[in-house]
Amino acid sequence: MVLAVPSCRTYFLARWPRLGFIIRPPHQLLSLLLCPGLRLPRLSVLCAQPRPRAMAISSSSCELPLVAVCQVTSTPDKQQNFKTCAELVREAARLGSCLAFLPEAFDFIARDPAETLRLSEPLDGNLLGEYTQLARECGLWLSLGGFHERGQDWEQTQKIYNCHVLLNSKGSVVATYRKTHLCDVEIPGQGPMRESNSTLPGPSLESPVSTPAGKVGLAICYDMRFPELSLALAQAGAEILTYPSAFGSVTGPAHWEVLLRARAIETQCYVVAAAQCGRHHEKRSSYGQSMVVDPWGTVVARCSEGQGLCLARIDLNYLRQLRQHLPVFQHRRPDLYGNLGHPRS
């Protein structure tokens, strides 16, 4: 059934069972329907902001790389979490994705810092070994959004790193980024968060990595509140920024989508945000709403409630056109505001 939306141009979206939505204008929907291997059992309609006519997509949708964004509810049970993630990754591969994104704490979400430290592993441990085998089996890249890593300084510090691991389709680790901004906050109604009780901040950013979908810049959750980081990644060549996350029930509705769209608009990058959702245990729950935002700031894919995945195609020609028509990086004035990373006086 097709419903008219009077206030804006109609965009079609395709929905799979247990999957989120791919938002496409009607001419792209036709190309999507003609793509082999994609089954669209049901259609609906969504109102979304259209792209400018001057930057209409010329590429066939079937020629564009497809990415999958996975949404899960991690618990302290590591093997059950892996089983859930592996099922989604295999589904992403079956649907033709070249890269699948998993959220922060895809490995587990513990009840307290002591349990977090006990369940953590080094990068060469059993769990990462299972994911490298999964990447090889499925033949796709994996963004493992926030692994509880026992680093080389574990014996001295007894603390871990929140490590974003990128695997290629052969299962090799091609990049690691250790979260640089730790979430030590007290939000009324959401409970205190003291990530630094068990976690050390990473020492540096990771250069964007070339993948089949484009150059990916790695970040994690709370990092999205620091535009300096996203601008640094964009200036280093990033075309896709990824923010695997576990947002809370208070900050989620207020800030999640707003921040992601802002990061996409200001950097003129795609933003991919895989999220935790639902209740992990009696002490913690997460907001969900995993999504992909295009460089114009439009949400082009979004997961529905519960565990599942959403899909989106990455159009780098569109990204380059947008940067050409709106050359904001050429207009920046670092001579005026180059010290924004310093604390307020």
Which residues are known catalytic residues?
104, 179, 221
Q: 211, exposed or middle or buried, with CB in 10 Å at 0-12, 13-18, 19+? A: buried
DSSP state, residue 126: H
Instruction: Using alpha carbons, list the distances in angstroms from residue 135 to 107, 188, 258.
Output: 15, 40, 32
CA distance 305 to 291: 12
Instruction: Using alpha carbons, list the distances in angstroms from residue 93 to 87, 136, 271, 273.
Output: 10, 11, 21, 19
CA distance 119 to 166: 21
* Residues near 332 by beta carbon (within 8 Å), at least 6 away in sequence: none
Beta 270-273 vs 291-293: how paired, if at all? antiparallel
Half-sphere exposure of 182 (CA within 13 A, CB side): 17
Nearest to 251 by CA among 225, 220, 217, 212: 225
Rounded to 10 deg, the angle between the 78-94 and 126-138 helix axes is 10
* Residues near 139 by beta carbon (within 8 Å), at least 6 away in sequence: 93, 169
